[in-house]
Chains A and B, each alone.
Chain A
């Protein structure tokens, strides 16, 4: 934001608006009232739409996404082709996992504003979730060239992580810390991402330090509390883990936190508490779906992980995969097939899920279990071993299974 230039523009705009219609230039065929009022309405709806999305980020309540969409659509109707409204709808589509719609909006944004970094951000994010990695990475390289900063460094970091280049991913996320420093929320978010990169290769202490730094700048930051709970659980302190996860869930009721809390209770032998939280998970997903978020893949993974209605879960996974054919979609579908005993079909998807060379313990574990199901004991040991070697605590539920399978 260029302050002086902006202010001069605002002054002139204010001067202009203040005396609008006084000069007579707008009289005649146009209705002055409508001309003056219509832009006001569009910007008011736009501001409302963005504010509602901010509320959703703060509270996690997806009903704000629904109301935000109403406001932004109204704004766009009043000001067709408006960049801000289009951009708001694009982020909304990404939040709700409508990746094809987001891609179309991103392309529209690029048409309205050629070479704008945020248009490439939307396009890259959408391409990534649609499994079109070459295009997604090209978009990320373009943003990094146009506007180096938090949003481009974070995206390049994620791309490198997907490609199995964890040192590169960490280096890029470290670069994001400086531009993020201006905002507590951005700093907290970046610290958590950096911590997760350490965590994913088993560097528990380094991860915990980042998570604690996130809580220090943004007390009650749910994503950091949730991540710290995983650290405490891995360190064999279930009571602390449960306390942290409860705080995370109170701070922001997400299905991820409810799942983790349920799992922690389950491991602690508190089965009824566990199932109460699993029921909350379903309720949270229902609420997300009722407000327009596509949850098939996430619900499928939850059900498959927890052994709930496996045939239906497979159908959900197929639907989820169809709209999100990324390596995550491939992985969930592979895992759902495997848990339904369809191990040879599962392996084909698992191969796709690992095609970028991603070093993700959960995906490697899934592959190991599929190989075991197919009777390939050596391959099974290889993949399970790689999963555990990366991070012996990669999952509350499955890391113990992996370790046991390895003997």
Chain B
């Protein structure tokens, strides 16, 4: 990326950097959500973080596992910046959130053709609960299994269900009984063989379907520190997210379950899929509260979307901050309300202003074509992650997305155009090696021995 740098003026630059850093801090941590105590009227928090409903990344790709090329994998990661040592409660999925993958298989931009919904419940149990210990996990004895002997130390255990929704019809794929989410990696005394424990949480449901829910290493990678240090880039760069974990839901299904004609990647006449991940919470209204004493929601079971995520970058780089709540509340096929952001991307403007390098002229239709359409002549705009399942396994974003794809570099190159070909941050891979077998994500850092640096 040095080719487009030009000269620098350090003093002024430092001021600008300070502003950017502050802006970042404001964005990351926001105005404090803590409600006031001092005033006598009821002050509820106005802005609250919601990490368990915060989807950090969404992936969809043709399996890169040898012999599994007829499978499609869908991954959603939630809970940003999990500090591995974050006890005593560590990190769990949210029982009040529906975590859903949505797939469009007939190119109409509506991702309701096939949906997979994950719901979680908490079980408080075991010796921890019996002894009233303020710990979620304890080595009494060491935790070696998710259930039965060796699982006594799991004071909190999450079960989950998986439901497939096709044409509005709900089919339970796995009931809320035996599937258990893999707990956070506490450390070697409490969980002496974490990988073995995690493997027990990789379920083969039959019919070519596999699921995993639990903690993983955050596969996203970027050298933010070098960029902030007055563009003190290095080769190789350092992954700023090294040593942080996320909670992942990984679903592998035969492509035949997704395609509209039930064809395989080789035989389907309709190989193009579009998809996104969402989190939803129960719908409530002021007047809807009558007649219920307990339980969740307003009794109708209705859910309302908290967040959606298809392509990386869109929410933060393309959509303006002022429209984010609205954007998240709408469906992908309503993206035409936001076309201006794609045609006049702020990122390109910034790149052009500060680097002085030419970027493609506006209005731009290449971003719309890449992110919102199946083909250039498509008149329906829908922000979906698109995958041509007939492409060979290993295709990279924006043809699907694998955990290993370097979306930072791709985004700068695509948005910046020809002048930014080859630009990037020199972090081309995750800090942990990403496996090419299910669940395609690396084991999480453990709470005792974690280090925030590259191994």
Q: Which residue of B lies closest to A154 (CB)?
A: B44
Report if B47 contacts A (CB, 8 A). yes
- Establish whether residues A122 and B46, one from each chain, have CB atoms under 8 Å apart when the complex forms: yes
Cross-chain pairs A/B with CB under 8 angstroms, 8 sampled: A14-B20, A97-B41, A113-B321, A117-B325, A118-B47, A145-B304, A183-B34, A252-B38
B residues in contact with A151, CB < 8 Å: 33, 44-48
**Most chain-A CB neighbours within 10 Å: which of B282, B286, B289, B351?**
B286
Determine whether A29 belongs to the interface, using a CB cutoff of 8 Å to chain B: no
Say how far A153's CB is from chain B's closest CB, in angstroms: 6
Q: Mark B37-59, 1 if CB is under 8 A from A, else 0.
A: 11111111111111111111100
**A152 & B16 in contact (Cβ 8 Å cutoff):** no
18 A-B pairs besides A12-B350, A22-B7, A118-B325 with CB distance below 8 A are A1-B49, A2-B316, A4-B312, A5-B312, A5-B316, A12-B317, A17-B13, A18-B13, A36-B16, A57-B37, A115-B329, A125-B43, A129-B41, A144-B284, A149-B53, A167-B292, A175-B96, A186-B33
Contact A298 B312 (CB under 8 A): no
**In the complex, chain A residues 168-190 whose Cβ is within 8 Å of any chain B Cβ:** 168-172, 174-175, 178-183, 185-186, 189
| B205 CB-CB contact with A under 8 Å | no
Which residues of B181-238 have CB atoms within 8 Å of chain A's CB atoms? 220, 222-224, 227-228, 230-231
| B361: interface (CB < 8 Å) | no
Indicate if A397 sits at the interface (CB-CB under 8 A).
no
A 283-300 contacts with B by CB, 8 A: 288, 293, 298
> Which residues of chain A are within 8 angstroms of B296 by Cβ–Cβ distance?
171, 174-175
Task: Give every chain B residue within 8 A of A288 (Cβ-Cβ).
Answer: 38
CB distance from B313 to the nearest CB of A (A): 5
Mask for B369-381, Cβ within 8 A of A = 1, else 0?
0000000000000
On whether the beta carbons of A118 and B46 are closer than 8 Å, the reply is yes
Please indicate the chain B residues that have their CB under 8 angstroms from the CB of A40 in the complex. Answer: 15-16, 18-19, 22
Q: How far is the CA of A169 from the CA of B222 in the complex (A)?
A: 44
For chain B residues 304-336, which have a beta carbon within 8 Å of chain A? 304, 306-307, 309, 312-317, 321-326, 328-329
Determine whether the beta carbon of B16 is less than 8 Å from that of A8.
Answer: no
Nearest A residue to B91 by beta-carbon distance?
Answer: A182
Q: Measured between C-beta atoms, what is the minimum distance from A338 to chain B in Å? A: 20
Q: Is the CB of A22 within 8 A of B8?
A: yes
Q: Which residues on the B side are within 8 Å of A233 (C-beta)?
A: none
Complex: how many Å from CA A151 to CA B53?
A: 14
CA distance A182 to B52 in the complex (A): 8
Chain A, interface SS category: helix
Q: Known contacts A154-B44, A175-B297, A178-B96: does B312 contact A17 (CB below 8 Å)?
A: no
Q: Which residues of B sit under 8 angstroms from A159, Cβ to Cβ?
A: 286
A146 to B21 Cα, complex, angstroms? 29
The verdict on B281 contacting chain A, using a C-beta distance below 8 Å, is: yes
Tell me which of A11, A22, A222 contacts B5 (CB under 8 A). Answer: A22
B169 at the interface (CB under 8 A from A): no
- A16 at interface, CB cutoff 8 A: yes
A14 contact from B96, B227, B282, B322, Cβ within 8 A: B227
B367 to chain A, nearest CB (A): 15
Q: Does A160 contact B (CB under 8 A)?
A: yes
Give the docked Cα–Cα distance between A58 and B407 (Å): 40
Contact among B97, B285, B354 with A17 in the assembled complex (CB-CB below 8 Å): B354
Q: Is B418 an interface residue (CB 8 A)?
A: no
Cβ of A20 within 8 Å of any chain B Cβ, yes or no, is yes
B31 at the interface (CB under 8 A from A): yes
Given contacts A12-B347, A24-B6, A167-B289, contact A180 B48 (CB under 8 A): yes
Let me know if A115 and B224 touch, CB within 8 A.
no
Q: Specify which chain A residues have a CB less than 8 angstroms from the CB of B6 in the assembled complex.
A: 19, 22-24
